[in-house]
Amino acid sequence: MMDFIEYSKNGSIEIIVGPMYAGKSEELIRRVNRAKIANLRVLSFKPAIDNRYSDNHITSHNGKKLECISVTNAAEILQYIINEEFDVLSIDEVQFLEEEIIGICQRVADMDKRVICSGLDMDFRGEPFKIVPDLMAIAENVTKLTAICMKCKMPATRTQRIVNGKPAKYDDPTIMVGANESYEARCRACHEVIK
Ligand code: ADP
Ligand code: ZN
């Protein structure tokens, strides 16, 4: 398999997408570890919104960990980029950042540096997730991973949202106070959204 552009002198953007549990964080951590073995200086970030696990680590569902800086917005990342010396920028859960992150990724790539992002390409409705499709469009390399569908065990491309034991409704708010919520990977055929 051709392994991205990690040996290139030119800047580039690569993005790893797919549903929850597809191995996006795992793959991002793998690429960052390889960059570190090559003595490249890596700046890693994640949006602070995602504090399911430890706060200053990118953590995969199978326990892989990478130290990172938690930020509350894209402008904070810009400050680090201006002030720090680095070769590689990595961002996990990029779907939670604002549109500004697109210009920042472009700027870093134009500085001949490597940008590695990972994030959800679709929301729980199965619709494109905010800025992620735009990043996919401008990226040199897109890796779309699948998880395993929890219903039929085929490759899963979507994230099923479950609220109080039932498929979430299309119009359900992002944050539902008091509800018992969970997410699982599903294929196109098994993915359910109640209209
Ligand atoms: P993502 O960042 O895409 O949510 P992670 O890298 O955090 O994914 O976790 C991937 C790991 O999750 C897999 O290596 C596997 O051990 C575990 N896993 C749990 N449920 C599933 C599933 N339905 N399909 C695939 N992997 C799963
Ligand atoms: Zn299925």
Rounded distance, CA 101 to CA 73, Å?
Answer: 9
Q: How far is the CA of 43 from the centre of ligand 2 (A)?
A: 37
Atom of ligand 1 nearest to the CA of 29: 6
User: Model-level pTM?
Assistant: 0.93
- Pick the atom of ligand 1 nearest to 185's CA: 23
Q: Among 71-75, 152-156, 177-181, which stretch is predicted with the lowest mean pLDDT? A: 177-181
Q: How confident is the model at residue 181 (pLDDT cuts 50, 70, 90)?
A: very high
Tally the C-alpha atoms within 13 A of residue 133's C-alpha that lie toward its C-beta.
7
d(C-alpha 1, C-alpha 12), whole Å = 19
Fold of the 12-146 domain: Rossmann fold (3.40.50)
Looking from the CA of residue 28, the nearest atom of ligand 1 is: 6
Name the strand (E) or helix (H) holding 6.
none
Tell me the C-alpha to C-alpha distance, in Å, between residue 95 and each of 32, 58, 129: 19, 15, 7
93 counts as catalytic: yes
Q: How many CB atoms lie within 10 A of CB 104?
A: 18
The residue whose CA is least distant from atom 6 of ligand 1 is 23
Point out the ligand nearest to the CA of residue 64. 1
Query: Residue 111 above 90 pLDDT?
Result: yes
> Per-residue pLDDT tens for 39-48?
999 999 999 9
**Residue 173 Cα to ligand 1 middle (Å):** 25
**Measured in angstroms, how far is the CA atom of residue 192 from the centroid of ligand 1?**
20
Q: Does 1 score more than 50 pLDDT?
A: no
- Among all ligands shown, which has an atom nearest to the Cα of 24? 1
Rounded distance from Cα 181 to ligand 2 centre (Å): 20
pLDDT surpassing 60 at residue 2: no
Q: Choosing from 14, 26, 27, 93, which is the catalytic residue?
A: 93
Query: Is 175 buried (19+), middle (13-18) or exposed (0-12) by CB count in 10 A?
Result: exposed
Residues with CB under 6 A from ligand 1: 18, 20-26, 60-62, 147-148, 150, 185
Residue 188: name the closest of 122, 120, 95 by CA. 122
Query: What residue segments make up the domains of the chain, in order of their start?
Result: 12-146
Closest residue by Cα to atom 18, ligand 1, is: 21
Mean pLDDT of the residues in the chain: 92
Nearest-angstrom CA–CA distance, 38 and 108? 19
